[in-house]
Structure formats: C-alpha cells, structure tokens
Amino acid sequence: MNIQLFSKNALVGASTQGIGAGIASELAKCGANVTLMARNEMKLRDMVSSLPVVHSGQKHQYLVTDFSDFENYKRIIKAYFLTNSIDILVNNTNGPEPGLALDKNTDDYQRAFDLLFKTVCETTLLALPHMISKKSGRIINVSSLSVKEPIHNLVLSNSIRSAVIAWAKTLSNEVAAHHITVNTILTGYFDTERIQNLIEHESEQTGATIEEIRKVRENKIPMKRLGRPEEYGHLVAFLASEYSSYLTGTSIPLDGGLNNTY
C-alpha cells in the first residue's frame, strides 16, 4: 500500500510535539501540504523546518493560536479559512488539566468544553464548505480511550471527549453523501510530553516514583510498551487516504491492546 497525499492540504492541531508532531510528519512524508497549529511560534518554526518535503510543489506553514483561549482561537481560525481551504482536518488539542470529580467546579468544565469541544466544532464547520463543494474530505479526531472507560484523575477529559464522539458520529452520517469521512482515534498510552506530565502529577499525589508509575502503565498494556508518535501518524495517514474511503463514523482504539483488557 503506497499512500500518496500529493496536492492535499492538511491542518493539524497541537502539532509541535507528541502525537500531533507524529501525525504532521507522517502526512508530510505522504506528500501533503501541512499547516501546523500551536501556541508557541518558536516551536512551530522549528517543526515546520523539520517536516519532510518529498516533491517540488509541497509547502508547509504554521498558524499561531492558543486552543485554551476560545474567543481568540475563533478569530484566528476564521481568518485562516478566508484564504485557505483544506482536504484533511486533524482535530487535536492539548488536554485539560488532570483532577478528580470532587475537585472540579462548573467553570472548570466550561473551560474544558471550550478547549475540547468548541474548538473542534468551530474548525470543522469552517472546513466543511470546501469539502462539500469538492465532494471529498477527511475529518480525523484525536480522542481517548477514556470515552469507553473513564481514566482516574482525568474527569474533565473523560466528560467532554464523550461529547465529541457523539457529535462526530452524528456528523459522519450527515456528510457521508458528500464523500466526506469522519473518524475518531481512541488514544491509549503514548510516549509523549502529555503522558510524562500526567505521570509526574500522579507521582506528586501518590508519592510513587515516576519510574514505578510508568512501569505500571506499561504492564497494563498487552504489548508492554508505550506507543510511538510515528505509529499514530501511520493510522492517520491511512484515514486521510483514498484507501479509507468507505470507512466513516468509527471510533478506532490505538492502544497496544489495552482496550481489550477493560
């Protein structure tokens, strides 16, 4: 299988590190023109310069925006779509802060909703008119296994990501006639900065060492290791390609078998 995304324009959220960077790199390897989104312009510049260029017409760019400031994000993303159109949208944001249900209030949930749901919905609705006119498009949502089984100490993520799944399934049925697919990846444990931060937070709360907590996580996974960001990119590239043209409305676990152990 040779995935070629030449002449395709991709927009990838939270793409200067971790899973987002793995996705952007793989799409670029397949020939797509990639627009990165994140809040740190220095990291964006470094990431753009490191993206593969596999053919002469391929160009990459970046968009500086902060997903946690929805009103400002809304302004920036609207301005982007005034002069740009995309064929592949990867909805990925930084995760909300960890915490227990008893520790959070309604303001915390509103901020998480703005971050995880409203940014995804806003970006998708802006991307869709071009996709509908072309009768082609790929919408790929980065989500979490927590939609199947809540993860301890991640109540905000557990709650809001479930709403995104229901929205994505509903949307997939409405746009299928336009040959637009909408799929969601349920992320397991990947070796990223986000996982490292969560492990450090758990270590502070429990007193267990970072090494102990990491080993516990790895042992829960049938493959006995964390995923690599480039492995995530492989699945996204497939979902972005013509090979996945009949696959829509799905939620696909990418977890080294962890989902099967619930």
CB-CB contact of 63 with 36 (8 Å): yes
pLDDT of residue 143: 96
Token duo for residue 102: 């008893």
Name, in order, each residue with C-beta under 8 angstroms of 173's C-beta and a sequence gap of 6 or more.
Answer: 249
- Show the domain range for 205: 190-226
Is 208 part of any domain? yes
Same domain, 116 and 181: yes
Same domain, 249 and 158: yes
Is 3 part of any domain? no
* β-bridge partners, 22: none
How many residues does the structure list for the chain? Answer: 262
Domain count of the fold of the chain: 2
Over residues 71-127, the pLDDT tens digits come to: 999 999 999 999 999 999 999 998 898 899 999 999 999 999 999 999 999 999 999
pLDDT of residue 260: 61
pLDDT of residue 262: 44
Question: How far apart, in whole angstroms, are the C-alpha atoms of residue 193 and residue 14?
Answer: 12
Is 65 part of any domain? yes
Is 1 part of any domain? no
Same domain, 180 and 194: no
pLDDT of residue 98: 87
Same domain, 242 and 125: yes
pLDDT of residue 177: 98
Q: Give this prediction's pTM.
A: 0.93
Same domain, 73 and 200: no
pLDDT of residue 198: 81
Question: If the chain, 262 residues long, is cut into consecutive pieces of 10 residues, what is the mean pLDDT of each piece?
Answer: 95 96 98 98 98 97 97 98 98 92 97 98 98 98 92 92 96 98 96 86 90 92 95 98 98 89 48
Same domain, 162 and 218: no
* β-bridge partners, 154: 99
Q: Can you tell me whether residue 70 is helix, strand or coil? A: helix
Same domain, 58 and 123: yes
Same domain, 76 and 197: no
| Residue located via tokens 């220095």 | 42
Same domain, 54 and 144: yes
| Residue located via tokens 């809040």 | 39
Same domain, 243 and 221: no
Is 129 part of any domain? yes
* β-bridge partners, 253: 186
CB-CB contact of 185 with 147 (8 Å): no
One-letter amino acid at 194 equals R
Could you list the beta-strand ranges (E) of 23-106. Answer: 33-38, 61-64, 88-91
CB-CB contact of 87 with 61 (8 Å): no
Is 220 part of any domain? yes
Same domain, 154 and 203: no
Is 259 part of any domain? no
CB-CB contact of 153 with 99 (8 Å): yes
* β-bridge partners, 252: 185
CATH of the domain at 135: 3.40.50.720
Same domain, 198 and 83: no
Is 166 part of any domain? yes
